[in-house]
């Protein structure tokens, strides 16, 4: 596994740097022929990245007509909810680019979680031409990092962390008293490229625990695409607890 870590002076510089990397990775995947696949992260950090991808020059470097969009996770809410990761991406990116509607694969947060997860796994496999026993290789997965070390909706002390067969699963998060749908480690760790985007001083302590202490209890520590690339894109505030010599 190739690892890379970039620290940018501000959140705005982080978004610009990440947009450049996303454009390079997706253009590279598309140059290889056929379609490419991008799994979007939820939360607030990627908003400015999505806005940059929705406008020139990044927008025009990507052939959106050959891109399939997925989500790493979704809250179990309707798509029009302010909590919806789909809604955020639709507003900041998807309505601004020429992506065929059937290439936008929304997790159905409005449906019962278990059925929605099973249906999404079927849709993912079908869109990526993967058989029932294959694990699709996503071109690029964007992830965030929660202050408790969660990523996507892989939260600490939840059974979904032990899932090794299913690619998409439902999870009830006690702390949030809410259900989520999430990609699981087998799918995330088979991606060609995974990019974490982490911004703000509130993430500094957890980022050090993940990146330098490698605490196994922290879900983000479990993201390790063995045959792929893993990039950490940070701003200076988030990286403020990292020591130079320990940065991978």
Provide the mask over 71-110, with x wherever binding to ligand 6PG is found by CB under 6 A and - wherever it is not.
-xx-----------x-------------------------
Alpha carbon distances (Å) from 102 to 24, 35, 156, 168 = 24, 13, 34, 19
Is residue 210 within a helix (H) or strand (E), and if so which, with residue range?
Answer: helix 204-211
Question: Contact, 235 vs 242, CB < 8 A?
Answer: no
Least separation in angstroms between residue 33's CB and ligand 6PG is 30
- Of 157, 144, 154, 147, residue with least CA distance to 205: 147
The gap between the terminal CA atoms of the chain, to the nearest Å, is 12
Query: Whose Cβ is closer to ligand 6PG: residue 30's or residue 39's?
Result: 39
Does 170 interact with ligand 6PG (rule: CB under 6 A)? Answer: no
Least separation in angstroms between residue 93's CB and ligand 6PG is 15
Give the range of 22-30, 43-51, 110-118, 225-233 binding ligand 6PG by CB under 6 A.
43-51
Measure the CA–CA gap between 213 and 77, rounded to whole angstroms: 35
Give the range of 20-28, 120-128, 147-155, 164-172 binding ligand 6PG by CB under 6 A.
147-155
Q: Are strands 229-235 and 178-183 parallel, antiparallel or unpaired?
A: unpaired
Does 144 interact with ligand 6PG (rule: CB under 6 A)? Answer: yes
Q: Which of 150, 181, 185, 239 binds ligand 6PG (CB under 6 A)?
A: 150
Q: Give me the residues paired with residue 233 across strands.
A: 6, 197
Q: Which residues bind ligand 6PG (CB under 6 A)?
A: 41-45, 72-73, 85, 144-146, 150-152
């Amino acid at each position: 596994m190739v690892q890379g870590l970039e620290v940018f002076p501000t959140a705005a510089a982080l978004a610009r740097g990440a947009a450049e990397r996303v454009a390079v990775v997706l253009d590279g995947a598309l140059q290889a022929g056929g379609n490419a696949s991008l799994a979007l992260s939820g939360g607030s950090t990627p908003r400015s990245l999505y806005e940059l991808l929705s406008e020139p020059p990044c927008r025009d470097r990507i052939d959106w007509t050959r891109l399939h969009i997925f989500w790493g996770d979704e809250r179990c809410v309707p798509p029009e909810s302010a909590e919806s990761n789909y809604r955020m991406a639709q507003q900041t990116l998807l309505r601004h680019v020429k992506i065929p509607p059937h290439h936008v694969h929304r997790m159905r947060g409005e449906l019962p979680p278990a059925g929605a997860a099973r249906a999404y796994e079927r849709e993912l496999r079908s869109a990526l031409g993967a058989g029932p026993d294959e694990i699709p290789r996503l071109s690029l997965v964007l992830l965030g990092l929660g202050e408790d070390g969660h990523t996507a909706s892989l939260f600490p002390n939840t059974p979904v962390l032990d899932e090794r067969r299913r690619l998409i699963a439902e999870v009830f998060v006690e702390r949030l008293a809410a259900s989520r749908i999430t990609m699981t480690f087998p799918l995330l760790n088979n991606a060609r490229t995974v990019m974490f985007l982490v911004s703000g001083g509130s993430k500094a302590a957890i980022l050090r625990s993940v990146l330098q202490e490698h605490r196994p209890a922290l879900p983000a520590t479990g993201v390790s695409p063995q045959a792929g690339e893993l990039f950490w894109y940070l701003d200076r505030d988030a990286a403020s607890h990292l020591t130079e010599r320990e940065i991978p």
